[in-house]
C-alpha cells in the first residue's frame, strides 16, 4: 500500500475505450460525461484536448455507496478517440499509451471480429482491462433503473431476464477463455489480477456505469501503483494524437502528456516524417469551455501542464510531425541524446506495428 507521501505522486491513469463498431464506445463516454452534468458535477469534469478527465470526486458521486475504502489515484483520464487505431498507434515508452482499457461488447451480439482484434492488442501490450457488456436494456423484458448500479437493477428483474443475462455473460466468458483469459461477472471476481471482470451495463440508461467505474478504479489501484508514480518536476513525455492545421494558428499537435511537466518555451523533440523535429513551444492550448466558436477564442492558453493531460501544442515546424509519435521535452544539454531516443522509439513502434 502506498504511504501518504507516495500517494501524491500517483498520476491519473489513462483509459482507452475499445470494441467493435456500433457496440457503444462513444455512447459510454457520452453517458459518463452526461450523467455527471445532470448530477451537477459538470464543473468537476475537465475537458482536455483529445481526452476527458473524470476526477475521483465525480466518480464517487456517480458510484454512491458502491465505493468504499481508500482510493489513492486522482481520477481517470479517458482518451476521446476510442478504438483500436488509437490504441495501436499511440504508444508510450515501452508499451501502449493507455494504462487501462474498457472493452465494450454489445451483449446482444457477443464477440465480433474487432472485439477479438482488440483483445489480441490488449494481450500483446499486457494492458489490464475490463469488459463492459453493453446494451443490457435491449434484453427482452429488462426494466431499467436509470443510472443505477447493475446489481440493484438485476435483482429487480424477473427470473427469465436474469437467466438471459447469465447466459449471455457466460457466452462472453467462453469466448474470453478461448483467447486465453479467465473471466467472470465482476461481482464474482475476487482477484482482478487473475480474472477479467465483466460488467453488464447500458450506455443508454446508465445502469452498471457506477459498477464499471468502480472496477476501473480498483484495477488502476491494484495494477498501477508502481507505474503511475510520476516525476512531477521531470521533463514532459507525451504521445502525439493528431497533427492539425488550425485557422489563425497554423500547424498544431494534439498531444497526450503522460509523464512530467511541459512549459511554454521548452525545447521539444517530436517524431517527424523524415527525421525528429526539434522545436520550441510557443503556446499550450486547452479547450475553452462554453465559448462561442471563434477561432481565437476556442482555446485557453496555459503556461504549464503536468501529466496526465491532453493539450494542443503550437510551435514552429509542426507540419511534418507524425501522429502516434513520441514527444519529449529536452534540456539544452540533452537534445542530442533525446533525438536518438525518439529515433529509437519510432523504430520500435514501426516494428510493433508491422507485427500487429
Our CB check for ligand GDP shows the closer of 185 and 286 to be: 185
Using rule CB under 6 A, residue 137 touches ligand GDP: yes
Structural contact between residues 271 and 325, judged by C-beta atoms closer than 8 angstroms = yes
Q: Which of 2, 7, 27, 298 binds ligand GDP (CB under 6 A)?
A: 27
Q: Which of 85, 138, 188, 301 binds ligand GDP (CB under 6 A)?
A: 138
Q: Which of 10, 12, 18, 24 binds ligand GDP (CB under 6 A)?
A: 24
Nearest distance, CB of residue 113 and ligand GDP, angstroms: 14
Q: Which of 88, 115, 134, 147 binds ligand GDP (CB under 6 A)?
A: 134
Residue 119 is labelled as binding a ligand: no
Task: Identify which of 113, 132, 121, 106 has the alpha carbon closest to the alpha carbon of residue 196.
Answer: 132
Distances (CA, A) of 164 to 129, 134, 158, 159, 169: 24, 14, 10, 9, 9
Nearest distance, CB of residue 79 and ligand GDP, angstroms: 13
Q: Which of 11, 23, 48, 312 binds ligand GDP (CB under 6 A)?
A: 23
The three cell numbers locating residue 89: 498507434
Nearest distance, CB of residue 222 and ligand GDP, angstroms: 27
CA distance 24 to 324: 24
Residue 75 region, left (φ>0) first, then alpha (ψ -120 to 50), else beta?
left
Cβ neighbours of residue 354 closer than 8 Å, sequence gap 6 or more: none
Using rule CB under 6 A, residue 206 touches ligand GDP: no
Residue 81 is labelled as binding a ligand: yes
Using rule CB under 6 A, residue 115 touches ligand GDP: no
C-alpha 272: how far from chain center: 25
The three cell numbers locating residue 262: 511541459
Q: Which helix (H) or strand (E) holds 240?
A: strand 237-246
Stretch that binds ligand GDP, among 15-23, 55-63, 186-194, 345-353 (CB under 6 A): 15-23
Using rule CB under 6 A, residue 26 touches ligand GDP: yes
Residue 48 is labelled as binding a ligand: no
Our CB check for ligand GDP shows the closer of 154 and 258 to be: 154
Q: What is the DSSP string of 22-57?
A: TSSHHHHHHHHHHHHHHTT-GGGSEEETTEEEEEHH
Using rule CB under 6 A, residue 140 touches ligand GDP: no
Using rule CB under 6 A, residue 202 touches ligand GDP: yes
Using rule CB under 6 A, residue 143 touches ligand GDP: no
Residue 84 is labelled as binding a ligand: yes
CA distance 344 to 349: 9
Using rule CB under 6 A, residue 204 touches ligand GDP: yes
Nearest distance, CB of residue 278 and ligand GDP, angstroms: 37
Q: Which helix (H) or strand (E) holds 293?
A: none
Structural contact between residues 181 and 128, judged by C-beta atoms closer than 8 angstroms = no
CA distance 150 to 28: 15
Task: Identify which of 327, 261, 234, 307 has the alpha carbon closest to the alpha carbon of residue 12.
Answer: 307
Nearest distance, CB of residue 109 and ligand GDP, angstroms: 10
Dihedrals φ, ψ of 195, to 5°?
A: -125, 145
Nearest distance, CB of residue 139 and ligand GDP, angstroms: 10
Our CB check for ligand GDP shows the closer of 242 and 343 to be: 242
Question: Could you list the residues that contact ligand GDP (CB under 6 A)?
Answer: 19, 21-27, 134-135, 137-138, 202-204
- Binding-site annotation: residue ranges for GTP: 19-26, 80-84, 134-137
Amino acid at each position: 500500500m502506498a504511504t501518504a507521501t507516495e500517494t501524491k505522486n500517483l498520476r491519473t491513469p489513462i483509459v482507452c475505450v475499445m470494441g467493435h463498431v456500433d457496440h457503444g464506445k462513444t455512447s459510454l463516454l457520452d453517458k459518463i460525461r452526461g450523467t455527471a452534468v445532470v448530477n451537477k458535477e459538470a464543473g468537476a469534469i475537465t475537458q482536455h484536448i483529445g481526452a476527458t478527465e473524470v476526477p475521483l470526486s465525480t466518480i464517487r458521486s456517480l458510484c454512491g455507496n458502491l465505493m468504499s475504502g481508500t482510493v489513492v489515484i486522482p481520477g481517470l483520464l479517458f482518451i476521446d478517440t476510442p478504438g483500436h487505431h488509437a490504441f495501436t498507434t499511440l504508444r508510450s515508452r515501452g508499451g501502449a499509451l493507455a494504462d487501462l482499457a474498457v472493452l465494450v461488447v454489445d451483449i446482444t451480439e457477443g464477440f465480433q471480429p474487432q472485439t477479438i482484434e482488440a483483445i489480441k492488442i490488449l494481450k500483446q501490450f499486457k494492458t489490464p482491462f475490463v469488459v463492459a457488456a453493453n446494451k443490457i436494456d435491449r434484453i427482452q423484458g429488462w426494466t431499467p433503473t436509470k443510472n443505477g448500479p447493475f446489481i440493484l437493477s438485476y435483482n429487480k428483474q424477473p427470473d427469465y431476464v436474469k437467466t438471459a443475462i447469465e447466459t449471455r455473460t457466460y457466452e462472453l466468458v467462453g469466448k474470453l477463455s478461448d483467447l486465453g483469459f479467465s473471466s467472470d461477472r465482476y461481482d464474482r471476481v475476487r482477484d482482478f489480477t487473475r480474472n477479467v471482470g465483466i460488467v453488464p451495463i447500458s450506455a443508454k440508461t446508465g445502469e452498471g456505469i457506477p459498477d464499471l467505474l468502480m472496477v476501473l478504479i480498483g484495477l488502476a489501484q491494484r495494477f498501477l501503483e508502481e507505474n503511475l508514480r510520476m516525476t512531477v518536476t521531470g521533463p514532459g513525455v507525451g504521445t502525439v494524437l493528431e497533427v492539425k492545421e488550425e485557422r489563425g494558428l497554423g500547424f498544431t499537435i494534439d498531444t497526450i502528456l503522460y509523464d512530467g511537466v511541459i512549459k511554454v518555451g521548452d525545447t521539444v523533440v517530436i517524431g517527424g516524417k523524415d527525421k525528429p523535429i526539434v522545436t520550441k513551444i510557443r503556446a499550450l492550448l486547452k479547450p475553452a469551455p462554453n465559448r462561442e466558436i471563434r477561432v481565437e477564442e476556442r482555446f485557453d492558453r496555459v503556461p504549464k501542464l503536468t501529466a496526465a493531460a491532453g493539450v494542443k501544442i503550437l510551435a514552429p515546424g509542426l507540419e511534418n510531425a507524425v501522429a502516434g509519435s513520441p514527444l519529449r521535452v529536452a534540456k539544452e544539454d540533452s537534445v542530442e541524446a533525446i533525438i536518438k531516443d525518439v529515433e529509437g522509439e519510432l523504430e520500435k513502434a514501426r516494428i510493433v506495428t508491422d507485427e500487429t
